[in-house]
Structure 1
Amino acid sequence: MFSKYIKATTLALALIPTLLLQSCNQKKDVENTTTEVSAPVETDLVHLSDVQMKNVTIKTGQLSTERIAKTLRLTGKIDVPPQNLISVTNPLGGYLKSTKLLPGMQIKKGQVIAVMEDPQYVQLQQNYLIARDKYEYAKLDYERQKDLNASKASSDKVMQLAQSEMNSQKITMNALAQQLSLININAKQLTYDNISKTIVLVSPITGFVSNTYVNVGKYVTPSDVLFEIIDPSDIHLNLKVYEKDLDKLEIGQRIISYTNSDKNTKHNGEIILISMDVNNEGASEVHCHLNNYDKKLLPGMYMNADIETHANVVHALPEESIVYFEGKNFVFVEVEKQTYQMQLVTIGNKENGFVQIDNFKDLENKNIVTTGAYTLLMKLKNTEEEE
């Protein structure tokens, strides 16, 4: 009896390690099963049910061939041709008596922009009036000598001296009249009663003031610039292009320019001049005319410009086909009815709503979603989150 008890106890002790091992294995199996269930399964496939297909618009198509130009992106700044940038000076110098000009102020051609004052203006007018009187006297004397010479009452020499004096006084009078015109005084309207110590400076063009360099009471010399005035009607864009891209450009090519602060507002134009002088940096200048004047574009403002070079025939898809996700571009390819697979693509240039597909061989003869691609992307990502 006791012997049987010992055998039973020994058997039970022998079974304990086996039972413990089985228990551990079962626990591991349960843990592995739990881990596999909780891990999300990533997929690039999205399937739409019949109900979902009724609520979305999905259209497919295949690669097409399109003429797409390569876009050359350049930078530059707004510039003004020399004939549209005027430096206002006073040819005779003088003191600035008054002005109301401020940078940015709009002015019209012929508008008074400053009043100058100086004693030399009085002296110049005085000299002109005296010269005019001397000319009138010399002219009358010549006429008298001419009549006397005709009747042999005066010698030819006396008549010739009278003629020479008349011509000399006329030259002096006309020279002084030209000096008066430099300070905007009409010599023909000048009389003994309207001599003035002041003159006015008028704007030679219609535009706006870009800079002022003087203040009231300051004396300026003939070489001093008082104001700078810009006619913005013919501003142009001066672009910098490197020599490796010069052969891609030609006169008449159209450009689309925009500022860094407003990339949505486009300014159209065309190339009017290409400089063949390459500087030390290996760059040259390209001058472009803008089709429409925009008062927001000021000289010196930095601009970006896209220039379309010669177009090539390439494989392309509508821009709506491409979805951008996590720094890459994708399309959806129909693999079965109502089932679509997301596929990576590399893209090139864009034009007229189409985008060039560089890895087109991966998509040949495949039905690609052209409308509703972003809808499929949202459905795919939501499905992954649910899983």
Structure 2
Amino acid sequence: MYRILYILITTFILLNVTACGNQNNINNSPDLEGNEDQHETRIMVSKAQFEGENMALGNLVEKDFPLVVEVRGTIDVPPKNSAVISAFTGGYIKRTPLLIGDKVKKGDPLLSLENPSFIELQQEYMESVEQLVYLKSEFERQESLVEEKITSQKNFLRAESEYKRNLAMYNGLRKKLQMLNITPENVEKGHIVSQVTLYAPIDGSITKVNVTPGMYVSPSDEIMEIINTDHIHLELSVFEKDIMQIKKDQGIQFKIPEASEQMYNAEVYLVGTSIDMQSRTVKVHGHLHNDENHSFAVGMFVEAGIITENKKFKALPDDSVITVDKKQFILVMVSQDNEGYAFEAKEVEIGESYNGFTAITDWGNVKDSDKVIVKGGFNLIGESEGHDH
């Protein structure tokens, strides 16, 4: 039965193509313009077949279809949510208990560094503290003597200079200790340590660990990376020709093609104001909807569409449109009786598909009231022809 129906509909299409070819060859002779109906082929479907194939009827309906600018980009985080851990001075890795994927809180210890220079720095600081006590006392004594004109201005200025020079050295050494997370007050009490600990500057997860115990690191080395994915965003690249269409708050639909076909929603938050001279693109920053409920990883590649506006089109469910030889057809009911239904294949032109509906941009003589097979019609032509939707 299906094979016979397939032959009928294919014959109908070929006859239409042949008729159009003949009309072109004779310069659209008016004698043949009225013969199109002679090539219409009806497809008969019994009620049993209609129900057995779970077919359904529907009508042309008006739907909103978004005009979309196709873009690509990545999942990213704001700069404040990413931190690279490095040391302010060189040292040997003594302890690094964390692995990639471990979660940390701001202030948690990350690793320990060891270096003899840490001890030397603390010794210099202690000497500076002791020297500062003496020089301050001498400066105050000379200040008092010069006021009483007991000593010369020269002696006072020398004492002042030495005191202030040592005070600057003291403050500098104290700051270095604080940067290394060594408590100056403990050093002043004589507690000298050979190891320093680096702490997490932000909450997040460890994404990189570039060291192992015993390894020497210099101040320029990146030891670890921490990323906080509590607030992620889209970093999209929009071509120069499309950027004038992009505005704040426009909707974005995107997917992670390497992971799944599931679509996610976001919106335009910031539009860049400069063009990358090599790629001729502008960066667009998008905020995700419900970004706390995700499992995205920073750096994931995304394919996205920015919805610039919506337009209304006549539409049918995707399953209504059948493609044969790169042409699109819909099956329109022309009659109905106790035995079943009669359908005719009508060629149409289609636009985009959205939310399960296909836009019909040219529906010919199909009326809004005409009944169209919206489900199961594909089986009338045959599984072997393929379907674009």
- Measured against the shorter chain, the TM-score band is 0.7 to 0.9
The answer as to 2:41 corresponding to 1:42 is: no
Q: Which residue of 1 aligns with 2:35?
A: none
Deviation track 1:264-303 (CA, whole Å, cap 9, x = no partner) reads 4333222323364254455554443334156632233222
**Which residue of 220, 225, 249 maps to 1:228?**
225
Secondary structure of residue in 1 paired with 2:220: coil
Secondary structure of residue in 1 paired with 2:330: strand
The change in CA–CA distance for 1:266 and 1:381 in structure 2 (over 3 A counts) is closer
Letter in 2 for 1:92: T
**Which residue of 315, 318, 321 maps to 1:317?**
315
The answer as to 2:192 corresponding to 1:195 is: yes
The change in CA–CA distance for 1:368 and 1:70 in structure 2 (over 3 A counts) is farther
**Which residue of 286, 295, 300 maps to 1:288?**
286
Residue 87 of structure 1, CA deviation:
2.2
**Which residue of 195, 215, 218 maps to 1:218?**
215
Q: Which residue of 2 aligns with 1:238?
A: 235
Q: In 2, Cα distance between the equivalents of 1:224 and 1:166?
A: 37
Q: Which residue of 1 aligns with 2:59?
A: 61
Q: In 2, Cα distance between the equivalents of 1:42 and 1:206?
A: 68
The change in CA–CA distance for 1:263 and 1:342 in structure 2 (over 3 A counts) is farther
- Unaligned runs of 5+ residues in structure 1 are 1-37, 383-387
Secondary structure of residue in 2 paired with 1:216: coil
CA RMSD of aligned residues (A): 3.5
The change in CA–CA distance for 1:118 and 1:50 in structure 2 (over 3 A counts) is closer
Letter in 1 for 2:314: A
Letter in 2 for 1:89: S
Contact 1:104/1:208 (<8 A) preserved = yes
Letter in 2 for 1:322: S
Q: In 2, Cα distance between the equivalents of 1:363 and 1:97?
A: 79
Q: In 2, Cα distance between the equivalents of 1:346 and 1:165?
A: 91
The answer as to 2:307 corresponding to 1:308 is: yes
Deviation track 1:290-318 (CA, whole Å, cap 9, x = no partner) reads 341566322332221122122234x3224
Flag the structure with larger Rg.
1
Secondary structure of residue in 2 paired with 1:233: coil
Deviation track 1:75-134 (CA, whole Å, cap 9, x = no partner) reads 332344544432221111111111023223322221111100001101111111211122
Q: In 1, Cα distance between the equivalents of 2:130 and 2:168?
A: 13
Q: Which residue of 1 aligns with 2:109?
A: 112
Query: Which of the two has greater helix per residue?
Result: 1
Q: Which residue of 1 aligns with 2:17?
A: none
The change in CA–CA distance for 1:96 and 1:110 in structure 2 (over 3 A counts) is same
Q: Which residue of 2 aligns with 1:179?
A: 176
Q: Which residue of 2 aligns with 1:253?
A: 250
Please give the TM-score of this superposition, normalised by the length of structure 2. 0.74
Contact 2:61/2:316 (<8 A) preserved = no
Q: Which residue of 1 aligns with 2:26?
A: none
Secondary structure of residue in 2 paired with 1:164: helix
Contact 1:47/1:339 (<8 A) preserved = yes
Correspondence 1:289-368 to 2 at 5 A: 289-291=287-289, 292-293=291-292, 296-313=295-312, 315-319=313-317, 322-324=320-322, 329-337=328-336, 339-351=342-354, 354-368=357-371
The answer as to 2:141 corresponding to 1:144 is: yes
